[in-house]
């Protein structure tokens, strides 16, 4: 059981603590914001805090019987619901949860449910959960965590108190990375590529990633300069992870769109590839909007399919960009 605290959570933690201290606790919470900001860790930390017998102002005590049960993953009054082996949270999981919710707390205190990522519930499982949110059992807290809250049923969102998480300021992020990650890169560039998330920098942004990204950028530049055909470019990227290729291309397209719309160069994410970004911007914003739509559609196809044809997806994107 992790109990990680991040400095950029201080505002949300203070707000939640104040509510609970003043006995204004919600029955259900929805933690939202971009991915990789530690929202799931925040939810787990809150659950541990509420279930602990002797919490401090900031966290669980780590020493009581409740904390030991949590650490062992056997606390009877805590449930963590995720997609498990599927891409979705299935109705059977929610039915099982609902059966557990009506049982009396075995430890005589709070019961806490963490659901992540909440947008992975399909309509059946979401509607099954909705019944429990509408008629919550006493001393039970639901904590839903979502990177994409717009994909949740409006009726679920309306029954939760929302807490928004945003990327930390650059100084806070750099300071945290210097203390918690062995990274020998330009941290400002790394944070830019990671959407401002120190956690994503720590996990994903390294020399290997930058080398793979350079391959994609080089191939894309050759494509828009008509030095190579789309199929040859796709073949050159065949061994790369499709999701990562799409995210790299999407980042470059977004930067090119900013150039077309007159944004300041300082707003560009891919500062080390400005010339490529400018070349991508040459066809104009209408073309780039269409390319962006296709990329986002491709992302949705990947998320909804168990076995997407990666080669065809990359080919279709590069054909669009080569026109």
What's the pLDDT score for residue 85?
Answer: 77
* Closest alpha carbon to 249 in 291, 282, 286, 283: 291
Q: Determine the 3-state secondary structure of 196 from DSSP.
A: coil
What is residue 306's predicted lDDT score, i.e. its pLDDT? 64
Question: How sure is the predictor about 124, in pLDDT bands with cuts at 50, 70 and 90?
Answer: very high
Measured distance CA(176)–CA(170) in Å, rounded: 10
Give pLDDT tens digits for 217-226.
Answer: 999 999 999 9
CA distance 140 to 105: 9
Q: What is the pTM of this model?
A: 0.88
In this predicted model, what pLDDT tens digit does every residue of 257-294 receive, in sequence order? 999 999 999 899 999 999 999 999 999 999 999 999 99
Q: Which residues have C-beta within 8 Å of that of residue 130, sequence separation ≥ 6?
A: 153, 155, 156, 159
Q: Round to the nearest angstrom and report the end-to-end CA distance of the chain.
A: 51
Q: Over the stretch 148-190, which tens digit does the pLDDT of each residue have?
A: 999 999 999 999 999 999 999 999 999 999 999 888 889 999 9
Q: Above 70 in pLDDT, residue 308?
A: yes
Cis bond before residue 179 (omega within 30° of 0): no
3-state per-residue secondary structure call for 126-181: HHHHHHHHHCCCCCEEEEEEECCHHHCCHHHHHCCEEEECCCCCHHHHHHHHHHHC
The pair of three-digit structure tokens given for residue 168, joined into one six-digit string: 């930390």
Mean pLDDT (the chain) is 92
What domains can be seen in the chain, in order of their start residue? 7-164 (3.40.50.300), 206-322 (1.20.272.10)
How does pLDDT run across 38-74, given as a tens digit for each residue? 999 999 999 999 999 999 877 899 999 999 999 999 9
Cα 168-173-177 angle, rounded to 5 deg: 150
User: For the chain, how big is the Rg over CA atoms in Å?
Assistant: 23
Q: How confident is the model at residue 305 (pLDDT cuts 50, 70, 90)?
A: low
pLDDT at 174: 95
Per the listing, tokens 């299935």 go with: 90
Which residues on neighbouring strands pair with residue 28, listed in sequence order?
A: 142
Cα 268 to Cα 105, 134, 230, 250: the distances in Å are 52, 45, 26, 13
Q: What is the pLDDT of residue 203?
A: 94
Q: Which of 57, 25, 30 is nearest to 42 (CA)?
A: 30
**Residue 304 clears pLDDT 80, i.e. is over it:** no
Looking at residue 3, what is its pLDDT?
A: 43
Quote the CA–CA distance of 272 and 281 in Å, as a whole number: 16
The model's confidence at residue 98, banded by pLDDT at 50, 70 and 90, is very high
């Amino acid at each position: 059981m992790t109990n990680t605290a991040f400095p950029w959570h201080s505002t949300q933690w203070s707000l939640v603590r104040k509510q609970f201290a003043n006995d204004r606790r919600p029955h259900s919470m929805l933690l939202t914001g971009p991915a990789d900001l530690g929202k799931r860790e925040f939810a787990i930390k809150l659950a541990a805090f509420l279930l602990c017998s002797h919490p401090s102002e900031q966290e669980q005590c780590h020493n009581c019987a409740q904390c030991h049960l949590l650490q062992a993953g056997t606390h009877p009054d805590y449930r963590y619901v995720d997609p498990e082996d599927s891409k979705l949270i299935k109705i059977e999981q929610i039915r099982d949860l609902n059966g557990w919710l009506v049982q009396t707390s075995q430890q005589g205190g709070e019961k806490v449910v963490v659901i992540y990522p909440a947008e992975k519930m399909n309509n059946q499982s979401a509607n099954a959960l909705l019944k429990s949110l509408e008629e919550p059992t006493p001393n039970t807290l639901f904590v839903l965590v979502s990177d994409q809250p717009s994909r949740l049923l409006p009726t679920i969102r309306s029954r939760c108190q929302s807490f928004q998480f945003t990327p930390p300021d650059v100084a806070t992020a750099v300071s945290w990375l210097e203390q918690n990650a062995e990274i020998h890169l330009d941290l400002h560039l790394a944070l830019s590529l990671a959407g401002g998330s120190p956690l994503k920098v720590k996990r994903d942004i390294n020399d290997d990633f930058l080398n793979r990204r350079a391959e994609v950028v080089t191939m894309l530049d050759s494509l828009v300069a008509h030095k190579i055909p789309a199929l040859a470019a796709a073949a050159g990227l065949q061994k790369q992870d499709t999701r990562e290729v799409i995210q790299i291309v999407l980042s470059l397209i977004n930067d090119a769109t900013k150039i077309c719309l007159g944004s300041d160069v300082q707003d560009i994410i891919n500062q080390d590839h400005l010339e490529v970004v400018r070349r991508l911007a040459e066809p104009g914003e209408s073309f780039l909007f269409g390319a962006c739509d296709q990329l986002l559609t491709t992302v949705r196809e990947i998320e909804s399919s168990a076995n997407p044809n990666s080669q065809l997806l990359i080919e279709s994107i590069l054909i669009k960009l080569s026109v």
